[in-house]
Structure 1
Amino acid sequence: MKRTILCRDCRRPVLWTITEAGKRLAVDPDPDPAGNAAIWRDGTGAVRSRRPSADLPLTGWERLHMPHVATCPAHTEQLALPVGVTSLAEHRRKRRR
């Protein structure tokens, strides 16, 4: 049984995993073939995740899930800047080139 927790922003269920680097990653609880996070449960019962690659493809005990940040409506909305505020993102992009 998967233990899901509700996202603080959108109130949808998320499944928290531990990445190979030891970080926490929230994923949608249902498998998604378009996802990029391979999920499995290790021997201690912890839900683990990694990014499959050409060198290490998806194995039989892993399922693909979508990271929640990619599907969360609260994170995908672009907030409009207030009147009189200029975005520096375009300036920074030009400067990096």
Structure 2
Amino acid sequence: MTRHAICADCHRPIIWTITEARKRLAVDPDPDPAGNTAIHRDGTGAWRSRRPTAELPLNGWERLHKPHVATCPARAEQLTLPVGVTSLATHRRKKANPR
């Protein structure tokens, strides 16, 4: 059985992967066909992740997983704004196309 890390916010198991840009990304440990992140273990045993594309589809040794940030219940609670804080997204003007 593989030991997984634990999310500090929701205390669920996660797998820390290294992306193609050498950044760390937490993914849910169970494969999900609706996921958008392909993960596999490299020769050193490290978990690697990438986004499959039309040019580089999912390989046989990779499995699709969801990034944990998309499924973390604690993260969803953090995204709601506190009382008295206004979202500026609705007030921002869109830039005109310079032509």
TM category (shorter chain) comes to 0.7 to 0.9
Q: CA RMSD in A?
A: 1.5
Determine if contact 1:2/1:15 at 8 Å carries over to the other structure.
Answer: no
Superposed displacement of residue 74, structure 1: 1.1
Segments of structure 2 that go 5 or more residues without pairing to the other structure are none
Change (3 A) 1:80 1:23: closer
The range that moved more, 46-55 or 2-11, is 2-11
Superposed displacement of residue 36, structure 1: 0.4
Could you tell me which residue of structure 1 aligns to residue 15 of structure 2? 15
What fraction of aligned residue pairs are identical, expressed as a percent? 69
User: After superposition, what is the alpha-carbon deviation per residue over 1:27-51, rounded to whole angstroms, capped at 9, x for unaligned?
Assistant: 0001000000000000111100000
TM-score by length of 1: 0.88
TM-score by length of 2: 0.86
For 1:65 and 1:38, how far apart are their aligned partners in 2? 6
Which is helix-richer, 1 or 2?
1
User: After superposition, what is the alpha-carbon deviation per residue over 1:29-82, rounded to whole angstroms, capped at 9, x for unaligned?
Assistant: 010000000000001111000000000000000000000000000112342432
Q: SS where residue 90 of structure 2 aligns? A: helix
Superposed displacement of residue 88, structure 1: 1.3
For 1:91 and 1:2, how far apart are their aligned partners in 2? 48
For 1:3 and 1:55, how far apart are their aligned partners in 2? 33
For 2:66 and 2:94, how far apart are their aligned partners in 1? 33
Aligned length: 95
Could you tell me which residue of structure 1 aligns to residue 36 of structure 2? 36
